[in-house]
Amino acid sequence: MKDVELDPDYVKKREQLKEVVASIVRPKIVQGKFLNGKEFVSFLEQILDALNQGEIPSTGSLVEVFNKGILERCLKLYTEQMAKVVLPMQGESLQKAHEEQRDTTMEVFDEQHFGRRHARKSVDQLEEEIEKVYKNIKLANEYQSSMLCEALYTRCEDKMDELQALRLPSMAKFNTGFLQCNQSFERECVGPSKSNYEQRMIKMLGKSKSLFIKEYNQRLFNWLVVFSLVMVVLGRFVIKFFLVEIGAWILFIFLETYTRMFWSAESLYYNPVWHNFLATWETLVYNPILDLDRWAIPICVIAAIFVFYWRCYGRMQHGPRWSLPVYSNRKDQRRSE
């Protein structure tokens, strides 16, 4: 329609609008060339095709780029906080620490990230990266727990072997070492490997105790036989007190003959007399004042020096003063005659 056919007011308003638009818009310049309307439409079509093909960043991809730096900082924050956790530790405690630090990290990310709908991918990526770091921490916790419990297990195993080889066997000392070893393992072994090593520990301690009990009575029996022979020699040649020698011979004959004729060595171990002997033995060998297994050799050396001094010098100065029967010295009798 021609302008003469239109409403004059409409024509007037249209011309005013053209003037306003012309004063606002600026010509589009692409590669130094002004675009007309047709060229501008063609340019827009090219941009739309590039957006559809992903050649130009979309709104979502731009948000992800902005959030990438924030994601890295939040992941670093989580890693630094988890690095302060002392390993090894119980799995439940580690899981609790992980959840607390993860929630804190996600709160920081929520406060700083760009966008809402398009930031979902960044949130998922952050959670995935946190889980990867936590998985490595769990592996480190398992490794350190295994190393710690293995060291404690080996230490207890060496302790049990040491107690098996006591020079003077003592059930009280073995039980004390057994209890200390078990308590130190329960207190110091922590982490996910503790349950596995607890089973190994129970088996090892059980075998060690069974072996010690099995050899305990037999070793004491052998020590008693050796003691009787030593007292025979001392009573005959050193002390020269025949009552000591007779008592030692009686003990030796009883242990070697009577037990073989009427009892077995095992049946002797259930006799009340044997139990009384064990109580006396334990009191002498291991008590709060003296650990005879540790001081046996020094005491024997001191006793040997004392006997040597008494034999060589004491009797020469003071002469024999026994009030009980002793072996007579034929040389002294001849000299007196």
CATH number assigned to the domain covering 59-150: 1.20.58
Q: Widest CA span of the chain, in angstroms?
A: 180
Token digits of residue 225: 């036989």
Q: Is the pLDDT reported for residue 324 higher than 50?
A: no
Say which range, 112-116, 190-194, 222-226, has the weakest mean pLDDT. Answer: 112-116
Q: Is the pLDDT reported for residue 95 higher than 90?
A: yes
Q: Which of 300, 335, 286, 306 is nearest to 230 (CA)?
A: 300
Token digits of residue 17: 């609008």
The residue with greater pLDDT, 21 or 57, is 21
Establish how many alpha carbons lie within 13 A of residue 254's alpha carbon, considering only the half-sphere containing its beta carbon. 11
Q: Is the pLDDT reported for residue 46 higher than 50?
A: yes
Those residues whose C-beta lies under 8 Å from the C-beta of residue 255, and which sit 6 or more positions away, are 221, 224, 225, 228
Say which range, 14-18, 152-156, 186-190, 299-303, has the weakest mean pLDDT. Answer: 299-303
Share of the chain above pLDDT 90, in %: 24
200 vs 198: CA distance, rounded Å: 5
* Cβ contacts of 172-176, under 8 Å, gap ≥ 24: 172/282, 172/285, 172/286, 173/285, 173/286, 173/291, 173/293, 174/209, 174/212, 176/286
Say which range, 133-142, 203-212, 237-246, 301-310, has the weakest mean pLDDT. Answer: 301-310
Residue whose entry in the numeric block shows the structure tokens 């080996």: 154
Parse the chain into domains and list their residue ranges: 3-52, 59-150
Residue whose entry in the numeric block shows the structure tokens 């530790």: 89
| Mean predicted confidence (pLDDT) in 264-277 | 71
Residue whose entry in the numeric block shows the structure tokens 């026994």: 322
User: Is the pTM value of this prediction over 0.85?
Assistant: no
The per-residue pLDDT for 156 is 92
Q: Is the pLDDT reported for residue 317 higher than 70?
A: no
